[in-house]
Chain A
Amino acid sequence: MAEPALKEESREIFDEGLNRGIEKLTSEKIEQVINAVLEDETGARLKVYVDTCVHCGLCSEACHFYVSFREPRFSPAGKVKQTLWEMLKKKGKVSPEFIRRASEIASTECNLCKRCSMYCPFGIDVAYLMLVVRRICHKLGVTPQYIQDTAHSHSATFNQMWVKDDEWIDTLMWQEEEAQDEIPDLRIPLDKEGADVFYSVIGPEPKFRAQLIYQAAVIMDAAGINWTMPATPGWDNSDMCMYTGDNEMMGRLKKAHFESAMRLKAKRIVMGECGHAFRSIYDMGNRWLAWQMPPIPVTHAIEFYYELFREGKLKIARKYETPVTLHDPCNIVRGRGLHEMARYVVNEVCEEFVEMHPNREHNFCCSAGGGVINCGPPFRNKRVEGNKAKADQLFDAKARGAKTLIAPCHNCHGGLEDIIHHYGLGLELKFLGDIIYECMEKGQGSEM
């Protein structure tokens, strides 16, 4: 396994967004923006987190970046030291080059996975602090190019992938047709009012993984769910603006999403297997819109599958035979505690389940989350080498028999795919929905 050749090289990573971004900065502008964000948008939490940190380093082992590189600057508090501590100490008088580094650290060296909050005795929320840094960099226009492009797509189209309105509808109808070859009376009900379930997905599904919509339709059909998908913008539940620090846009996206569900008078939103989208709807976007909890109930796919099996609405024809292991995605495990439900579903559908260690709330992040994978190719090596911890964890599960890796989150998929490839792990990667689709009894429900 390759020794990370990172050391000083990360300073030289060229990124259009970062490098061009700082060309326009002046020291007055930097000072003004930093102080404005710190003054107007933060308060007691930031102050207490910074004052209370006793510089003990106990959070280090929590972070996969630190565990993989063993370099202090990758420890959670180390990242705060290089960014916020410095900004506070210098009262915002930092250089453009400093801002470039700060943006790189906050956007590509932290997945906002919150594992460190479970290791710091004080529960200091480094993920929150890194989001504040991203916010500052966003306001200074210094954000990695690839993720910024995604954020632009969100602002222009209300979805992450520049999918046009008619392309969206086309894709759904195309998947419906495809699925009808298998189950002739299957429907993907578009824009239907009063459904029990408003099903939403992330932008990349219609773009690259349309078969997931097909599979979801087959599951809905078999379980006899009264469901719908929206035909208008607001269908995409994903949210990269939450990760670039563009809170205003995050708010607009979530508003569109909630409102399209409400316009259709749906009873609840059920979403596909995505972690960050869940965080955006359940935890962050709603808060920006001043909803303590989401204005309409939100159910993640795992919880939904769990219900379907619990209530006997889905049946398995034959269990999945290959031994599986499960990656617990941070955003729905540390973010929603769905780990036991996930295990219930896995045991319903699979013959043999091998735990990876650590697991549940203590699982290591895939290193793709928090928008890091969305920062694109320039930061890919750092992200993959920065998660040797995950590779070791997977290797151990493999040594104990696991052949398939289940990752019920889109970003995790991207990240784990790279890790499996880079470290030559040879595990097959699947969504929970893939396996359910493969093993279920199909086509018996179909009342609409």
Chain B
Amino acid sequence: MQTLYNFVSGPLVWLSFMIFIGGSLYRLISMAVLAKKKDPLVYVYMDWYYALRSIFHWIIPFGSENMKKRPVMTLVTFVFHICLIGIPIFLFAHVILWEEAWNISWWFISDPVADIMTLAVIASCIFFLVRRLVLPEVRYLTSYSDFVILAIVAVPFITGFWAYHQWFGYRLMLILHILSGEIMLAAIPFTRLSHALFFPVTRGYMGSEFGAVKNAKDW
């Protein structure tokens, strides 16, 4: 168990960060190069002002018509994404790890708050799962990989919650927690989780087309 723990919390951390950072750069750069070659118009019509204007409307809650039309989905989506990104970075236990390894540290969230946020992520994942199964228009688009991706995101939070509360078998859970966190990180560039990388690009481009050429809003 100890060797396994050392392995997932040592070399694998390095590996997952390398895959995440390297992979993300690779995906973004290779797309930029491909766009230059095959879709040069993207560069011609990209307009920073209008790109940011559109992105801004889509990252504030209820900033677009569609978000106003689906308040529950909007709320869940925002809570989910904020917690999803916030917890791994600002969790006390994680900040400590950074401090021990690199002697750097930053602000952290208190454990009870983190607990609630974790539950929020898990609840959101259940919401997304149910939505996927129940709404015909979402179900229609769903492939089996969508469930895998949802699981990749949910498992680190479930296992983390488990381990923190030191329930039955929590040592194993801790290992699973670290491992699944690493899998999630490494999966970002190479699965549909890459929407996180490409959101600013696709939204920004549509914002530019609408704003600069078509003189219209796109939210």
Contacts and interface: CB of A to CB of B under 8 A. Distances in A.
Contacts of A124: 202
A53 B192 contact: yes
A43 B137 contact: no
A125 interface: yes
Which of B32, B198, B214 neighbours the largest number of chain A CB atoms within 10 Å of its CB? B214
B39 to A, nearest CB: 5
Contact of A283 (B139, B199, B213): B213
Which of A52, A81, A117, A287 neighbours the largest number of chain B CB atoms within 10 Å of its CB? A52
B207 A57 contact: no
B203 interface: yes
Contacts of A32: none
B143 A55 contact: yes
A44 B218 contact: no
A245 to B, nearest CB: 17
B194 to A, nearest CB: 6
A122 B195 contact: yes
A44 B140 contact: no
A81 B141 contact: yes
A287 B38 CA distance: 14
Contact of B137 (A52, A54, A75, A287): A75
Given A48-B202, A118-B219, A61 B192 contact: no
Interface string B192-215: 101100110111011100100111
Nearest to B59: A121
Contacts of B73: 58
Contact of A123 (B35, B135, B194, B207): B207
A361 B64 CA distance: 12
B65 to A, nearest CB: 6
Contacts of A73: 140
A77 B141 contact: yes
A62 interface: yes
Contact of B44 (A44, A66, A292, A338): A292
Interface residues of A, number: 46
A66 B137 contact: yes
Given A42-B38, A44-B39, A72-B141, A121 B203 contact: yes
Interface residues of B, number: 48
Contacts of B119: none
Contact of A52 (B37, B38, B69, B194): B194
B216 A57 contact: no
Interface in B127-167: 135-143, 146
Contact of A57 (B35, B41, B137, B205): B137
Given A118-B219, A119-B66, A122-B202, A78 B140 contact: yes
Contacts of A55: 138, 141-143, 146, 192
A122 B203 contact: yes
A333 interface: yes
Contacts of B39: 42-45
A335 B216 contact: yes
Nearest to A331: B214
A162 interface: no
Contacts of A119: 64-66
B65 A362 contact: yes
A8 interface: no
Given A58-B70, A60-B137, A48 B214 contact: no
Interface of B: 31-32, 34-35, 37-39, 41-42, 44-45, 54, 58, 64-66, 69-70, 73, 135-143, 146, 192, 194-195, 198-199, 201-203, 205-207, 210, 213-219
Given A119-B66, A358-B65, 10 more contacts: A42-B38, A44-B32, A55-B146, A57-B135, A57-B141, A75-B141, A123-B206, A283-B213, A334-B216, A337-B215
10 contacts: A43-B34, A44-B34, A44-B39, A51-B198, A61-B69, A117-B218, A123-B218, A292-B44, A292-B45, A333-B216
The 10 closest A-B pairs by CB, nearest first: A43-B38, A123-B206, A337-B215, A72-B140, A44-B35, A57-B138, A55-B141, A337-B216, A44-B34, A57-B137
